[in-house]
Structure 1
């Protein structure tokens, strides 16, 4: 993993107290905009789920969840969620939601295997959302329509903050650009995926990179994706594969690409089977979640997550995610932040 580094000495535009006030403003404004734009109803989310059910998100397939035994349940093990990618689909199915309607929630996760840097922490907070869709909507074009709606919410929130703090100037372009991971690999074959992201994010200001997780023309993948939630194998009909992607903006404070959201159309029984086979994980088909999906018992959905602390970090022009959330950091990060003039919210 390439770590995102703080480039130079830095001074926050807002003080700590102003920052805390601004975080509340952003969160309240954005979630209302998002729920209105996508027809989402807020639901309450779990902090932990049962082990061995296939419900927890294992991200790239290798990250270890935090787990613990429960005395009152005969020592059955539960796991702290790493995201709610699959739980949300179960919830949409349980609620019986019709296409065009969905849910959103505050997701709080712990990811102990995260490589810590300026944008990655042990604690993850995001708006997790999921909406029911028709089978006919399993297209890259429909996905891009939803991306544009989410981007409009981000743009409106940026102006909302500028309207209250006029020294935080808007920087996002009017429109988000759509690119494909395989096209980027062909255009920049000698660059790493992170370097390709930097090229297009700096060029356009905001991009949606489609086809994350599937094999590229050279056999590599742009970035890791578990095989059992996003569909990254289905052909799009325009010469590409993958019905998912990431919203990435150019972060001028960090001089780096900055991921705000990961999302996608969820796997159908056929794409789940194909993706499990490609990753050599066919044994997962026996788990509760996967069994339901393969039997056609789950609603077809589209969903994703939008980082709360990351969005606040970007809109408030912060240099470290520890300025918009409280986590735990190693001594070397505390020392680096102190040297660069960064005040973390977590007390040393």
Structure 2
């Protein structure tokens, strides 16, 4: 890269700082060995930001995120902050990042490493070689729709209200991401909604179909109801290539797909905005796993999901496909060699710490780069 790109690291809470430490070690390796240098700045989000600033994300941190070429996030939340008012819970910081940066497309790969196929709760033959991506609409739908809230009715009952709402433009832009991604993969998109009972689902299906006919007829398009999709993911997951769906269903289905791989500690994600006039997208990358407060601070966490999120950053924000491939291959090789953190431990393997896993990744990068 001709000039250093700005990278904002928000390690967050729980195991976030531990796994992000390994990311920084790998960034240093790429700086020294491939001249990929980033201007890295650290800041706070989530519970740690509440402890210091009284809010999960300050305006100053939000401004830094808006100016960054990419944001890497660890994890937010934990039991320490469970009893706070809803509007200042740690997760509100993450939601603000997604909303203010207009990160409307969440990419959640579910890839089963050959060496980990037996770790899945499904039969090995159902998941061996699995490689699917769920594209989840991230800034609309029931999580952000209005009216919303809790009200007291005249009879004294309380009623909670959330509104599922989508516009044509919101549907089309996330569907376009899915179709473009499928063109680089297996050329299959499955669009998921509940058009049988929800008007928003009817609109979703109609707009995706219209876009497909106009611009992406070279990609195979199918439609599926969300409940059936959940069942099919555990029945025959390899039938899918790219799944595109709304915010609520994407939240549920991506976690379902995640566990097909055997561990949340192995799964990265990318949240992307629309390209600007220069082709630059705002982007946030984060592992799928949570803060895991039970093991936080004990050097036990699996850093691979965060490292694979870094690989997604190389690929989607900086068009560094070869660097992404290198890091992903290093992760596959280390796992195949039998080095495992506790979440993916198996008989005959070597149980390692967070730091040791980082050590092995760096050794493998050295070997692959020769």
User: How does the TM-score come out when normalised to structure 1?
Assistant: 0.29
Please state which structure has a larger fraction of its residues in helix.
2
TM-score where L is the length of structure 2:
0.28
